[in-house]
Structure 1
Amino acid sequence: MSQETQPHSETTESSTDSETDSSPADDATTGGREYPITAVPTVRPTLVWLVIVGLGGGALTGLVVSNPGLFGGATQANVVGNAVLLLTGIGVARFLIRVYVLRRTEYVVDERSLVRQYSLLLRTWRREVPLTMVRSHQLEQGRIQKLLGYGTISVNDGLGDIRFENVRDPRDLNEVIAEQVSRAAGRGHPDGT
């Protein structure tokens, strides 16, 4: 029984020491975390939609081509089949581009800001929101997203917003953002003024 109590008291003492001591080394690691924290979006939901669009479009095209009588003859069925095939191709291309962009996207949370950046065709897009400018953040996670373990975090929705889409373990990242926002509110301007 004393063995169980002793490690608990040691843990309490060390966590109390780290909370009271605010040296620069401890600013870089808070709550056992080292900053910056980076996350990448999962492509799983986009791949699911890619498969659904591809298979659905292929099945619909096959139905149109194999049953020309439903569309008033072979000529009309050919036109409808080509239109469905074209729309399916556009949908598949859109999701392939999205997969490519998501693979090149990175989310960063550090002591001063939240960053979303991605590279596409030799160009980098970067959106940064200082923690002192964060007014709101929320976790959006539907039933399927919750089941698959991903979600979206919206920061400053409608006011210079930034979105961390398709994040794995979004609750953990949302908690980190909340901690950093409250720390930033407590220390004032990021320049230290």
Structure 2
Amino acid sequence: MPNKRNAVGSPSRAMGKKRRTSSRTGGKKVQSEEIAQKKDGAGRKRHVKKTKEGYLSQEQGYKMLRISLTVILVIVLLEKSYGREQYGDYCERFGLDEIEPFIFNGERFCLSDREYKYCKSYNCPTPDCTYPLRPATGGCQYCKDYCSYGGIMYPIGGGFSINCLDGSNRCACSTNNRILKTRIGTSPRRMCFKKLT
């Protein structure tokens, strides 16, 4: 005669199973949870990730990643390529794509490297003539038979007797306010720092 207390579905068998399950989990109750996979409009399964606030779709995760990378890139560009600051004794440094502030009645002469523009600013000289001329490309006015260069009026001729603004070359005044110069290599440091004597 079979033991009724140990038969399938009997209370003693169920209690034994419950005790074995509790021993495996350390006495803690375990509740299995299934996350249903949602489907998009095309019937494809859309992977979801459970967060504290709820469910985050894969598309939302990519969007948040793109926003974060964009913010980081903007911060790096602002720190590296932008921000007007003094450089050396005579210059200001700008980002390559930065628009320099307008100078009223003045000009800038700039040199560039791979990361920055280095600019030397100066005021326009006052033309000592009745009808001053202005270059077609804009800039400081000048008088006939003179050149306006670096805030000073120079007469035409005289050879390469002018110190160029780049700090390395020699310049000469030609007709129509054209400045001729020698072709010696230079650098922003030579232009922007005082030369040691």
TM-score bracket for this pair, using the shorter chain length: under 0.3
Higher relative contact order (CA 8 A, sep 6+): 1
Bigger Cα Rg: 2
What TM-score do you get using the length of structure 1 for normalisation? 0.26
What TM-score do you get using the length of structure 2 for normalisation? 0.25
